[in-house]
Structure 1
Amino acid sequence: MLLYVDAQYASPYAMSVFVGLKEKNISFDMQTLDLGAGANHMPDYAVTSLTQRVPTLIEGDFSLSESSAITEYLDEIHAGVALYPAAPKAKARARQIQAWLRSDLLPIRQERSTEVLFYRPSDAPLSIAAGQAAQKLFDAADRLLAPGREHLFDTWCIADVDLALMLNRLVLNGDAVPVRLADYAKRQWERASVQAWVNLARPPL
């Protein structure tokens, strides 16, 4: 398999797929694209990636983009660590969490970009809009994470990575985060597959 990712290894969506491949113990190669230079819109890649985005996974003559579609595909065709819960309602909830984190909370993503996670923190305070988005994140995460539970569900799943990443945009920047949620995010960040992505050698910005 070949996985296309961004040149800075900073895409949260590429990270999610990378972690999924590592958890499944699937052998794969990576190729980077300079998104700032528009490499994802070049004709060759546009033919390869339907959405012209990263990540895109290539397997023989099959290509698939959009991270949650890729991790669902990997879970269906490969044995090993499950990326999603088996129970239908729990699996639906995990998909809901992924879709929500990818489509909402824009002020957090704008003011606490993934540069905070992989390069340097921001010294700008959160705007009112970002503060409101953060509170919405905390309220939802608090409801989702049962007291005393280490993961969203009975065992780890890929949605834990996505939720921890969103929380860590704030935690690793030094912003105020409820202790229980900060501890959860830090635990998820210590997972070996996550650390494999965190510790990739990144080019300077």
Structure 2
Amino acid sequence: MSLKLYADSAFTSPYALSVFVALKEKGLSFELETLDLDAAANKNPAYRSQAITGRVPCLVHDGFALTESSAISEYLDQIFPAPAQRALYPTAPQDRAVARQIQAWLRSDLAALRTERSTHTVFYQRAERPLSAAAQEDAERLLAAAERWIQGSHLFEDWSIADTDLAVMLSRLVMNGDPVPQKLKDYVARQWQRDSVQEWLKRINR
């Protein structure tokens, strides 16, 4: 069996981070290859021949290539199921649906916040400007939803990949000093300390 993960060379993609964490949490061995997105390496024909959408992350499993991080994490959970490997999603149908809802929402909404508090400001240089009205509205919606979802150490009874995704989104505010309730700051800190996330952070070239 062979697994290869393509990620961005700056290690700022929250989606590549999500798949990296999923693989680490599963305890799977994989090769990591990075692409310089600033140099448009993802548009190289050789890469596009595997990753049809030309995006990162891309996971190649025994010749089968798949992009889009949430699709990859669901694939990994099916191909390498619990209890042999850690589950990435809750087993209860409603909880699993909520986890997928959270992932889909974080990837499709909150555009102003994602623009003004890019992950570059999380991992490298902090933002210098306050949030615009549109980004502040996004932040308020994010915080309100997170307050309702997070009831303990995790979103559900045990950790799920949605915890990593939500923590990264909240980190856009936390790391830039924007107002965040202490409960959510504590949640982010707990998620940030997971070994799988720490393995990613070691690759950040500050």
List per-residue Cα deviations over 1:64-112 (Å, max 9, x = no partner): 1100011111111113211000111111110000000000001111011
Structure 1: which 5+ runs fail to align? none
Please tell me the residue identity of whatever aligns with 1:81: R
Please tell me the residue identity of whatever aligns with 2:65: S
Structure-to-structure mapping, 1:20-169, within 5 angstroms: 20-78=22-80, 79-146=84-151, 149-169=152-172
**Secondary structure at the counterpart of residue 48 of structure 1:** coil
**Do the aligned residues in 2 keep the contact of 1:3 with 1:58 (CA within 8 Å)?**
yes
Structure 2: which 5+ runs fail to align? none
Which whole-Å CA distance do the structure 2 matches of 1:196 and 1:24 have between them? 14
Please tell me the residue identity of whatever aligns with 2:154: H
**Do the aligned residues in 1 keep the contact of 2:123 with 2:204 (CA within 8 Å)?**
no
**Secondary structure at the counterpart of residue 49 of structure 2:** helix
Which whole-Å CA distance do the structure 2 matches of 1:51 and 1:143 have between them? 35
2:196 match? 193
TM-aligned CA deviation for residue 154 of structure 1? 0.4
**Aligned pair partner of 2:5 in 3, 6, 31:** 3
| Runs of at least 4 residues off by over 3 Å | none
Structure 1 length-normalised TM: 0.95
When the two chains are superposed, the root-mean-square deviation of aligned CA atoms in Å is: 1.0
Question: How many correspondences in the alignment?
Answer: 201
Please tell me the residue identity of whatever aligns with 1:125: P
Please tell me the residue identity of whatever aligns with 2:176: N
TM-aligned CA deviation for residue 201 of structure 1? 4.2
Percent sequence identity over matched residues? 55
Structure 2 length-normalised TM: 0.95
Which whole-Å CA distance do the structure 2 matches of 1:175 and 1:11 have between them? 21
Which whole-Å CA distance do the structure 1 matches of 2:106 and 2:199 have between them? 22
Which whole-Å CA distance do the structure 1 matches of 2:175 and 2:189 have between them? 9
